[in-house]
Amino acid sequence: MEQFTLKDGQFIDQLGFGTYKLNGTKGAHAMTDALNLGYRLLDTAYNYENEGA
């Protein structure tokens, strides 16, 4: 996967996995599957209100 170089020299994947409407067990499984498929950037935010997943 292509990556961007950050100003501090670290790298971040160009493509991430969005978690906006993920909740509960299905959300947790979706995030686990994304990590198992190679995603290393999970797009999260406090306002998504899905911390339980």
Residue 5, both tokens: 């170089």
Summarize the confidence of residues 21-43 as an average pLDDT. 94
Summarize the confidence of residues 4-21 as an average pLDDT. 94
Q: Is residue 26 part of a domain?
A: yes
Decide: 21 and 47 in contact? Cβ < 8 Å. no
- pLDDT on residue 7: 97
**Structural domain count of the chain:** 1
- pLDDT on residue 48: 85
46 given a catalytic annotation: no
Q: Is residue 15 part of a domain?
A: yes
Q: Is residue 53 part of a domain?
A: no
- pTM recorded for the entire structure: 0.73
Range of the domain at 11: 3-48
Other CB atoms within 10 A of residue 7 CB: 5
pLDDT at 3 over 80: yes
Q: Which of 20, 39, 46, 48 is catalytic?
A: 48
As to burial, measured by CB atoms within 10 angstroms (0-12 exposed, 13-18 middle, 19+ buried), residue 6 is exposed
